[in-house]
Structure 1
Amino acid sequence: MMNKPFSQACENNKDAILAILASEFRTTRRVLEIGSGTGQHGAHFAPNLPHLLWQPSDRAENLPGIRLWRNSAAAPNLAAPIELDVTRQWPDGPFDGLFSANTAHIMPWPVVERMLEGAGQLLSSGGRFCLYGPFHYGGQPTSASNARFDAFLRAQDDQMGIRDFEAVCEVAAEHGLHLTADHTMPANNRLLVLVRG
């Protein structure tokens, strides 16, 4: 029998992220999580945000683990995970919320661009995309640990790496998404809130 996958980073950051989402998603009704990974975030957020439907998604190989976390959460507003490759077919909307954690630095930059394009198309007017992770500002890391992490990622694959905040916001704006908040998070991470005009 498969054990539930586990990410220590998810365990460490879930409450800090939830505190922001409780405010940013206070009037949101349907959220698509892009790149749900282990499924831990959805299993924690959905029971604590009972006013909305949380839709996990990821590549096919990660769906069994996400299902295990969904089963253990037993939250009526946590949907069964769906397969999503942001470069291909997106699910039918409308969604008035999107969430993604620790994906932008793993995706190649053209895929990040496609994620932002898809977000602009999928979100309803006034909908919010909450994007969590580390970012560089002015082309520079915000801490020594982020510089080391960026070097580690690029050594694994030269298409990975911490993304520049300004570049993310520029591409987002091209697709009708405008920055309304840049939240400081633990461990030198940020939570960007991009709103569909």
Structure 2
Amino acid sequence: MKQHAPATLRNREPIVEVLAHELPASGSVLEIAAGTGEHAVFFAEHFPALAWQPTDPSAEALASIAAYREDYAGTNLAAPLLLDAAAPDSWPVTAADAIVCINMVHISPWQATEGLMAGAARLLGATGGPLILYGPYIEAGVETAPSNLEFDASLKARNPLWGLREAEALDRLAAQNGLARSARYALPANNIMLVYRAG
């Protein structure tokens, strides 16, 4: 049942450092595309005052998240929910104080990112909570690492609808939904975290 993503162990500490700056002190966090569930357990453990809601569109991922949750001693990690980011009008969650999305934007069709922004605007618009994205992005004026270019090519070879996105394209999409970028963090392995809030 449990799946393992090797990158999780490498990136979870730097991600937690950023989350500590951006997440509210209490409330609920919606994790979109939670994958294996390893991040969800780690984050829930680090932020016990936050109710952590993992979601994913994959049945295999949901099973893995549930398996990891069984071993979690805390009470702030909810059972995983099926959620397709590309269908924001049918999300099973109607409120959140923050949204976290790790490594989804480049491993999904652009429609998923469009839905993510629309859903985030609907859920976070009233609270001003953050939408926090993590992954590799292409940025104007910033040289793209050769490893990221190779990764982009491999993604497109697997699925032409996948691939690294331009951070500026995300900014434009966010603006169309009433969101604006409030922070950018450089993380190891040529990844960045982008934070958007209503405004």
Work out the CA distance in 2 between the residues paired with 1:72 and 1:20.
Answer: 26
Deviation digits for residues 155-191 of structure 1 (CA, Å, limit 9, x no counterpart): 1111000000000011011111111100001100001
Using the alignment, how far apart are the partners of 1:87 and 1:108 within structure 2? 9
In structure 1, how many angstroms separate the alpha carbons of the residues matched to 2:12 and 2:167?
22
Q: Which amino acid aligns with 1:12?
A: R
Task: Provide the C-alpha distance between the structure 2 equivalents of 1:37 and 1:7, rounded to a whole number of angstroms.
Answer: 8
Conserved 8 A contact 1:44-1:73? no
Percent identical pairs in the alignment equals: 41
Relative to the length of structure 1, the TM-score reads: 0.94
Partner of 1:166: 168
- Cα distance in structure 1, aligned partners of 2:36 and 2:182: 29
SS at match of 2:128: strand
Q: Which runs of 5+ in 2 are unaligned?
A: none
Post-superposition CA distance 1:22-43 (Å, at most 9, x none): 1111434110000000000010
Q: Distance in 2 between matches of 1:71 and 1:16?
A: 25
Residue in structure 1 matched with residue 101 of structure 2 by the alignment: 100
SS of the equivalent of 1:92 reads: coil
Quote how far apart the aligned CAs of 1:125 are: 2.7
- Structure 1 stretches of 5 or more lacking a match? none
User: Which whole-Å CA distance do the structure 2 matches of 1:139 and 1:72 have between them?
Assistant: 45
CA RMSD, Structure 1 to Structure 2 (Å): 1.5
Structure 2 counterpart of 1:75, which letter? G
Report if the CA contact (8 A) 1:135-1:141 is conserved. Answer: no
Normalised by the length of structure 2, the TM-score is: 0.93
Counterpart amino acid of residue 47 in structure 1: E
Report the number of matched residues.
195
Instruction: Please identify, of 58-67 and 187-196, the stretch whose mean Cα deviation from structure 2 is larger.
Output: 58-67
Q: Could you tell which deviates more after superposition, 113-122 or 99-108?
A: 113-122
Higher mean C-alpha displacement, 66-75 vs 145-154: 66-75
